[in-house]
Chains A and B, each alone.
Chain A
Amino acid sequence: MELTGAQILIRCLQEEGVDTIFGYPGGRVLNIYDEIFKSNIGHILTRHEQGAVHAADAYARVTGRPGVCITTSGPGATNAVTGIATAHMDSVPLIVFTGQVGLTSLGRDSFQEADITGITLPITKHSYLVKDTKDLARIIKEAFYIATTGRPGPVVIDVPSDITVNKARFDYPKTVNLRGYRVLKKVNLLQINQAANVINESYRPVLYVGGGAIISGITDEILALAEKVKIPVTTTLMGLGAFPETHRLSLGMLGMHGTHYANYAICECDCLIAVGARFDDRVTGKIETFAPKARVVHIDIDAAEIGKNVRVDVPIVGDARTVLIELLARVNADTGERAEWLDRVEQWKQEYPLHYTQDGENVKPQHVIEQIYEVTRGEAIITTEVGQNQMWAAQYYKFSQPRTMVTSGGLGTMGFGLPAAIGAQIGQPDKIVFGISGDGSFQMNSQEMATAVAYNLPVKVAILNNGYLGMVRQWQQLFYGGRYSQTDLLGVSPDFVKLAEAYGAVGIRVERPEEVRPALEKALSIPGPVLLDFVVDREENVFPMVPPGGSLDDMLGGCMD
């Protein structure tokens, strides 16, 4: 039977088991939207295409299933660009359908035409411009396969409007045939033996775990490896939740705003095992002085990540799950040879804990995060914006489950948190979703409050409102002589409580430390979206901090007085 391209598109999504599309309609996707109307696939209408992509991204991050979103051509597609780049940097599987002008109008600067495959070339894993309705099903099949296998990433499918009208026989392919794209199944056992030797010979090992561990779903294996060999574990921002931070071997996060003890451990370790992490500059600081005493084992599915930023002694390309299972069988259980190292790590933990001082009557942002952790018993999904709010969330919420920290790590996208909270809540309807936000970031996509209200999503958003673009202000204070250029928002932001109410949500303002807990409890008791405006200490800084270009053991602040 012949179907229209729009019908084929929907049938393909059904074949892939897609239950929710995030999107925003427009002229060039009317046929697709007509089929969505007739189908049983859920659709979440955001208030901006960027919100749709971030929501689909967060849906993917919390479920492990690919996010699907759809925009119209031209501005609809270009509005999706930041969302696509965000997903690309954090290796999130995403299928982005963009409308396009008809095939005969292509390249003529037609109304609402933009070369979106060209624009997104460097920020997608792959992209397609559909030229024939006959190819549509194959392309969608390939797109899902590419997006979700190997190192995941976003795939853009640009669909000219006549493709959605034209008819073709519908036959959903069972397999894909991509000669240039192979997913690595095997691992090199010689390399794994070598890694096991390096680990067995180590006295001061550290596991450095990134987002790849969460994608691979290997938290059990990491725990097993850490406990068997007695290896302290530090995670990147993207790796938060891959290892329980309540565990005695946990070092928390490393890097620019990592803990003292994680960074000291990196500087002193004799063996560093990187799992699904990419030695980002925010992690390594000055690259020449990163883990200077260590033999480095690097496990990654993406061969291009190995040796990209640092010299590696034992490279292992492969799926982290397969690698860790093989590795676990080859490493020796610790028989006390690392006791001295563990003592030393413990001493650092005692000496240099994450720390802030509750002075005066002001609400401390760190206190808000700690209280959110307590009222949610550490079981919430946390989404963040970018900046101080993100770093405090990373530092003070003790993540213990994978896929519970949803944050824009690589691209650092302000405006991510609120739409991400929406997507996360839709992906995990039974979980508590808490968005941690700043007064600056929140305003970058605050229109999505309307989406949260429209679908009556119980998301809670906590704005840590310091009236500044806080992280930039912090840099200006520390490195630019206190010249707060264009970072002061005091008095020029909306009344967030009234804003929430205008959208039909509940707004709560908190100005005193003792009000924090009751406000959070009240928010949780409300079944719909709640916006909490925490008026916090204006000039609180995120510490510790490795100054840009500094070594990891060269941290500012955060010590006990």
Chain B
Amino acid sequence: MRHVLAVTVHNYPGVLNRVAGLFSRRGYNIESLNVGTTDNPQFSRMTIVVDGEPEVIEQVCKQLHKLVDVIKVSDITHEPAVNRDLVLFKVTAEPAVRGEIMQICEVFRLRIVDFGRRSLIIEATGEKNKLDAIEDALRPFGILEMVRTGQVSMVRGRK
């Protein structure tokens, strides 16, 4: 099962290396790992999406905890949370099909952030399922390039 881990770490060089190394060394299946700064410049927040049986996830959390630079590990899979992923698509867009693409953008509430002669860059944010659906919808037009940030998550409420 897919688990979402919210991990607070020290903002030191090499911390990402320690975390990523742990996953590769112990053979855990990482689906996505996002890391960025927080309101406190001393800390970074990672959102790690990892696939595995409950015992494996428990091991992942315990092993993460053992890293000296890891301050907090929470498995927020079952928490009410806002989960977001940002994707940029560069799509072939000959004038003949542009209208159709723009319709899709409207339906999914996407933003066109670059308008070239033969291609568009479309920005999409949302949950994984929605982004997968968008990708499917855009594929027939020809996706020239796609980048995803990986999921970021935040638990709702004051927690």
Contact A121 B17 (CB under 8 A): yes
Query: How many A residues face the partner with a CB closer than 8 A?
Result: 17
Asked if B63 is at the interface of the complex by the 8 Å CB criterion, the answer is yes
What residues on A are CB-neighbors of B131 within 8 Å? none
Q: Would you give the shortest CB distance from B60 to chain A, in whole angstroms? A: 10
What residues on B are CB-neighbors of A303 within 8 Å? 62, 65
Binary per-residue interface labels of chain B (51-90) against chain A in the complex, 1 for a CB within 8 Å, 0 otherwise? 0000100110011011111110000000000000000000
Contact B62 A179 (CB under 8 A): no
What residues on B are CB-neighbors of A125 within 8 Å? 68
Query: How many B residues face the partner with a CB closer than 8 A?
Result: 21
Binary per-residue interface labels of chain B (25-40) against chain A in the complex, 1 for a CB within 8 Å, 0 otherwise? 1000000000000000
What residues on B are CB-neighbors of A302 within 8 Å? 66
Q: A121-B18, A126-B68, A146-B68 are in contact. Are A180 and B62 (CB under 8 A)?
A: no
A150-202, CB < 8 A from B: 178-181
Asked if A307 is at the interface of the complex by the 8 Å CB criterion, the answer is yes
A307 to B59, CA, bound (A): 8
What residues on B are CB-neighbors of A481 within 8 Å? none
Contact A308 B59 (CB under 8 A): yes
A126 to B71, CA, bound (A): 14
A129 to B66, CA, bound (A): 19
A-B residue pair count with CB separations less than 8 angstroms: 37
Contact B59 A304 (CB under 8 A): yes
> Please, which residue of chain B has its CB at the minimum distance from the CB of A182?
B65
Residue in contact with B67 in the complex, picked from A118, A180, A308, CB distance below 8 Å: A180
A304 to B70, CA, bound (A): 15
Contact B68 A129 (CB under 8 A): no
Contact A118 B17 (CB under 8 A): yes
What residues on B are CB-neighbors of A181 within 8 Å? 68
Q: Would you give the shortest CB distance from A282 to chain B, in whole angstroms? A: 19
A125 to B65, CA, bound (A): 12
Asked if B121 is at the interface of the complex by the 8 Å CB criterion, the answer is no
Asked if B48 is at the interface of the complex by the 8 Å CB criterion, the answer is no
B100-151, CB < 8 A from A: none
Contact B10 A180 (CB under 8 A): yes
A308 to B17, CA, bound (A): 23
Contact A304 B66 (CB under 8 A): yes
A180 to B59, CA, bound (A): 17
Contact B71 A180 (CB under 8 A): yes
What residues on A are CB-neighbors of B18 within 8 Å? 121
Contact B63 A304 (CB under 8 A): yes
What residues on B are CB-neighbors of A304 within 8 Å? 59, 62-63, 65-66
What residues on A are CB-neighbors of B25 within 8 Å? 122
What residues on A are CB-neighbors of B99 within 8 Å? none
> Please, which residue of chain B has its CB at the minimum distance from the CB of A302?
B66
Asked if A390 is at the interface of the complex by the 8 Å CB criterion, the answer is no
Binary per-residue interface labels of chain A (125-157) against chain B in the complex, 1 for a CB within 8 Å, 0 otherwise? 110010000000000000000100000000000
Contact A179 B55 (CB under 8 A): no
Contact B71 A179 (CB under 8 A): yes
A126 to B18, CA, bound (A): 10
Contact A180 B68 (CB under 8 A): yes
Chain B residues within 8 Å of A, Cβ to Cβ: 9-10, 13-14, 17-18, 21-22, 25, 55, 58-59, 62-63, 65-71
List the 4 closest A-B pairs by CB distance, nearest first.
A304-B62, A180-B71, A126-B68, A181-B68
Sample of 6 more A-B contacts, CB < 8 Å, known A180-B67, A303-B65: A118-B14, A129-B14, A178-B68, A179-B71, A180-B69, A304-B62
Can you offer 18 A-B residue contacts whose CB atoms are under 8 A? A117-B14, A118-B17, A121-B17, A121-B18, A121-B21, A122-B22, A126-B68, A129-B13, A146-B68, A178-B68, A179-B71, A180-B9, A180-B67, A180-B68, A180-B70, A181-B68, A302-B66, A303-B62
